[in-house]
A and B are shown apart, each in its own frame.
Chain A
Amino acid sequence: GENVEQHPSTLSVQEGDSAVIKCTYSDSASNYFPWYKQELGKRPQLIIDIRSNVGEKKDQRIAVTLNKTAKHFSLHITETQPEDSAVYFCAASKQSSGTYKYIFGTGTRLKVLA
């Protein structure tokens, strides 16, 4: 069945460095790729998303890249700050016969060391 693999499961970086989280998906028909951030004890919240007609999208310090041929997409966080510490989830979704498949990755715990 469809699945989304996410790596790494944990990531520690020094404050100011960049962080990269990668996801691969199995269903080539997937066309929507959001990223969610979940701070400790809080609900997941969307931070950025990309659709399959776009290769890259940026929003200040965060960016997402999509390689449809290779079926992978990545989250890039530059100039990391302590408040970036959280669990990040990728997801892949598609519309199929009136319903959808929205599959989350297993999450990456990012720690930004001051």
Chain B
Amino acid sequence: GAGVSQSPSNKVTEKGKDVELRCDPISGHTALYWYRQSLGQGLEFLIYFQGNSAPDKSGLPSDRFSAERTGGSVSTLTIQRTQQEDSAVYLCASSLDSGVDTQYFGPGTRLTVL
């Protein structure tokens, strides 16, 4: 079946602009995660959605970052007033049920803030 998809694959924006990144998880997966990966670095946890529970936002780096998950499926990560340090690959992952299941990653969105 289809894997996790993300759009756009690349996004170039100017400093100060807002951006929206989209994630379509695998159908039926109740858990969804967002990570940030700077060049050559590890996976920085941003936010986690599990079913209808309140999301775990503990990884969001500032209040410029927010995320929604509508209808328990598609998720959107929004970055307001982008800064150059926001430049990174943003990875989305989903898992069947919980944090003790395999995470399936999307291809990522490469964000470049000029």
A is bound by B? yes
- Chain B residues within an 8 Å CB radius of A95: 98-100
Mostly, the B contact residues are loop
Interface residues on A, range: 20 to 34
Q: Is A58 among interface residues, defined by CB-CB distance under 8 A?
A: no
Q: Are A44 and B42 in contact (CB under 8 A)?
A: no
Q: Is B48 among interface residues, defined by CB-CB distance under 8 A?
A: yes
Q: Are B107 and A43 in contact (CB under 8 A)?
A: yes
Mostly, the A contact residues are strand
Q: Is A106 among interface residues, defined by CB-CB distance under 8 A?
A: yes
Q: Is B102 among interface residues, defined by CB-CB distance under 8 A?
A: yes
- Chain A residues within an 8 Å CB radius of B35: 104
List the interface of chain B (C-beta within 8 A of A): 33, 35, 41-43, 45, 48, 50, 53, 56, 91, 98-100, 102-108
Q: List 28 A-B contacts (CB under 8 A).
A: A34-B102, A34-B103, A43-B91, A43-B105, A43-B107, A43-B108, A44-B105, A46-B103, A46-B104, A49-B102, A89-B42, A89-B43, A94-B99, A94-B100, A95-B100, A98-B50, A99-B48, A100-B99, A100-B100, A101-B99, A102-B33, A102-B45, A102-B103, A104-B35, A104-B43, A106-B41, A106-B42, A107-B41
List the interface of chain A (C-beta within 8 A of B): 31-32, 34, 36, 42-46, 49, 51, 89, 93-95, 98-107
